Amino acid sequence: MLLLVFPFPFHGRLWRALFDLAHGPVFFLTVLLCVFALDPGKLGFRNRSALIPLTIPRFVVLAAGLFFVGVFGELGQALVRRHPSIQDAVANAAGVFAGVLICGAAALRQLWRRLVLYVCGVAILVVPEIGPLRELREHFQQQSQFPLIASFERPEELGAWEPHGATAVRSDDWSTDGRYSLRVRSLNGQIYPGASMVYFPGDWTKFRTVEFSIRNRAEQPMLLGVRIIDRLHEERGYIPDDRFHVDVPLAPGEIRALRWTLEQVKNAPRTRKTNLDDLTQINVFSVEPQDNVDFEIDEIRLYP
């Protein structure tokens, strides 16, 4: 329970993937450790006496208790500024069920039945790990393609983006390089619809410019806002004059290549310098709220 709600100081896509990988195995081991502490005979340790004999009703209560800890503990992360996740809650529950099956297998005499439960338990434990493993692989692919920040050629790249007041999907209608771009469409009644890239290599100190392409798909002009912020800006409470922010007018259907020097990004805050080695967010959005905002982003790249 403490691990579920502890406000770990780690950030980034790598740590998120590693934490997600740990959910199922941690609850699986918790089941085994609880059974070993209370009634080790249920795990095959016949020479050890039981502290509390685990009858079937008691075992059900134990498993149900751990199940609810995994689900409601995950929801409680919102109270410590962590991000609750349905996928993580499912992984917690899968770890509990896998532990139940393994414990049940230890109580069976027939070898084939034990093997069936072992296989089912391992499968239930492994399936929720597929997503975090793909996320981990994407982290290293993202690092290897640097200074290309985003190309949208891989579906997993969407995991680095968080839409706000909008939907964000890959689109093959238009691109400047490769096949795909990121299409952002506003949701009705939302304010400042757009998308933020929150996981990307943040050390830009050895580069000179940042560039990307934009396309306004809508039939009316739009004012596009672009923000690049560092961790200190977040810690200072998102003060408006403490970040890089530019507004770009776009005509209906206009395609434009946008380019800024990193000196502009660095010198944008009024009272300090942007930390180019600790950037945390690229935010692209509509400055003037509209219900029909529709634009595409492609090929975010740094140049020396």
For tokens 């190309």, the residue is 151
- Please state, for a pLDDT cut of 70, what percent of the chain lies above it: 93
**Tens digit of pLDDT for each residue in 95-106?**
999 998 988 888
Do 134 and 149 touch, CB atoms closer than 8 A? Answer: no
Apex 117 CA angle, 113 and 121, nearest 5? 170
Q: Which amino acid is at 136?
A: L
Distance of alpha carbon 14 from alpha carbon 145, whole angstroms: 16
Do 256 and 217 touch, CB atoms closer than 8 A? Answer: no
Distance of alpha carbon 75 from alpha carbon 296, whole angstroms: 34
Residue 68 CB neighbours (<10 A): 13
Is residue 13 very low, low, confident or very high in pLDDT (cuts 50, 70, 90)?
confident
**Tens digit of pLDDT for each residue in 178-232?**
999 999 999 887 788 999 999 998 899 999 999 999 999 998 899 999 999 999 9
**Tens digit of pLDDT for each residue in 38-76?**
888 777 777 777 788 888 888 889 889 998 888 887 777
Distance of alpha carbon 70 from alpha carbon 50, whole angstroms: 26
Global pTM reads: 0.78
Q: Which of 188, 184, 142 is nearest to 167 (CA)?
A: 184
Assigned CATH for 148-303: 2.60.120.260
Angle of helix 86-106 versus helix 13-38 axis, rounded to 10:
30
Distance of alpha carbon 260 from alpha carbon 267, whole angstroms: 12
For tokens 């080790």, the residue is 40
Is residue 8 very low, low, confident or very high in pLDDT (cuts 50, 70, 90)?
low
What ranges do the domains of the chain cover? Answer: 2-133, 148-303
Angle of helix 56-75 versus helix 13-38 axis, rounded to 10:
160
Distance of alpha carbon 184 from alpha carbon 169, whole angstroms: 7
Mean pLDDT of the chain: 89
- Residue with the larger pLDDT of the pair 78 and 292: 292
Residue 184 CB neighbours (<10 A): 27
For tokens 């896509």, the residue is 13
Whether omega for the bond prior to residue 25 falls within 30 degrees of 0, making it cis, is no
Distance of alpha carbon 169 from alpha carbon 49, whole angstroms: 57
